[in-house]
């Protein structure tokens, strides 16, 4: 325990200073959430590259949580759905159900090129389509995988902070 305290004291603050607020691209309905947005993440068929970057975005360096977003364990508590990967046939129905399970108003964020337009998997036999083919997408974050800074920027469009 004492070792932990010492380490915390020695390390200090590692978060990077906040970049300027994204100027445009705030989706309709995001203002209703009042700057606090709970997220539910669904991996619809991703290679896990985007997951690693999301984890990094919520880590101590990029610290997405200071802008008012939080990852949740249940869609029942979530305001926005974060989807990664091209939507595979197996995950299409669970993705729809997860979206239905969320209370309204609800937003959808497509993270990564695969989620936006199927990326390198476009036209593959197991892929049902991009996220936009299944659900209405409000925010898109580009990149393969997207950099944590981009993810944080995209999520800041939801909270407006």
Partner 1 sequence: MNTAATALCVSAAVGALSAALALVVPRSLRPGIAGGGTAVVGVAAVIAGVAALAGQTFSVTWESVLPLSGVSFALDPLGGLFLAVTGAVAVAAGIYSVGYTRGTLDGRVVQAALPLFVVAMLLVPSAAGVGSFLLCWELMALTSLLLVLAEHRRRPEVASAARWYAVMTHMGFVAILIGLLVFAAAAGGDSFTELRAHELSPALGGLVFVLTLTGFASKAGIVPLHAWLPRAHPEAPSHVSALMSASMVNLGVYGLVRVGFDLLGGGPAWWWLLVLALGALSAVYGILQAAMDADLKRLLGNSTSENMGLVLIGVGAAGLFASAGQLGLTGLALAAALLHVLNHAAFKTLLFLAAGSVLHATGTRDLDALGGLRTAMPATTVFFGVGALAASALPPGTAFVSEWLLLQALIHGLPTSGVATAIAMPLAVAAVALTAGLAVATFVKGFGVGFLARPRSDAAANASESPLSMQAAMGLAGVACVVLALLPAIVLPAIGAASTYGDPSASGAVTMQLTAVAGSLSPLLIALALVVGAVAVLGVLRMVVTHRVRRTARLWDCGAGPLSPRMEYTATSFAEPLQRVFDNVVRPETDIDISHYEETSYLVQAVEYRRRVPDRIERRLYGPVLAAARGWGEAGRRLATGSVHRYLGYGFYTLCAALVLLVIAW
Q: Which long-range contacts (C-beta less than 8 Å, at least 24 apart) are formed by 94-99?
A: 94/42, 95/42, 95/44, 95/131, 95/134, 95/135, 96/134, 96/135, 98/40, 98/42, 99/75, 99/135
Question: Is 32 among the residues that bind partner 1 (CB under 8 A)?
Answer: no
Q: What are the phi and psi torsion angles at 156 (to 5°)?
A: -70, -20
Nearer to partner 1, 16 or 93 (CB): 93
Q: Which two tokens stand for residue 20?
A: 């300027």
Minimum Å distance from CB 54 to partner 1?
A: 19
Binding segment for partner 1 (CB under 8 A), chosen from 27-35, 90-98, 119-127, 135-143, is 90-98
Question: Is 77 among the residues that bind partner 1 (CB under 8 A)?
Answer: no
End-to-end CA distance of the chain: 35
Question: Is 85 among the residues that bind partner 1 (CB under 8 A)?
Answer: no
Question: Is 98 among the residues that bind partner 1 (CB under 8 A)?
Answer: yes
Question: Is 94 among the residues that bind partner 1 (CB under 8 A)?
Answer: yes
Minimum Å distance from CB 49 to partner 1?
A: 23
Minimum Å distance from CB 18 to partner 1?
A: 35
């Amino acid at each position: 325990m004492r070792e932990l305290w010492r380490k915390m004291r020695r390390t200090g603050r590692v978060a990077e200073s906040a970049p300027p607020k994204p100027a445009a691209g705030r989706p309709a309905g995001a203002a209703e959430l009042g700057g606090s947005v709970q997220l539910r993440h669904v991996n619809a068929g991703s290679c896990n590259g985007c997951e690693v970057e999301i984890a990094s975005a919520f880590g101590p360096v990029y610290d997405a949580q200071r802008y008012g977003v939080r990852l949740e364990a249940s869609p029942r508590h979530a305001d926005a759905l974060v989807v990664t990967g091209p939507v595979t046939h197996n995950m299409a129905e669970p993705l729809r159900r997860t979206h239905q399970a969320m209370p309204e108003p609800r937003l959808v964020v497509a993270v990564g090129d695969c989620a936006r337009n199927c990326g390198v998997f476009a036209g593959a036999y197991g892929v049902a389509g991009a996220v936009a083919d299944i659900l209405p997408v409000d925010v898109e974050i580009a990149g393969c995988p997207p950099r944590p800074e981009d993810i944080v920027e995209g999520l800041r469009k939801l909270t407006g902070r």
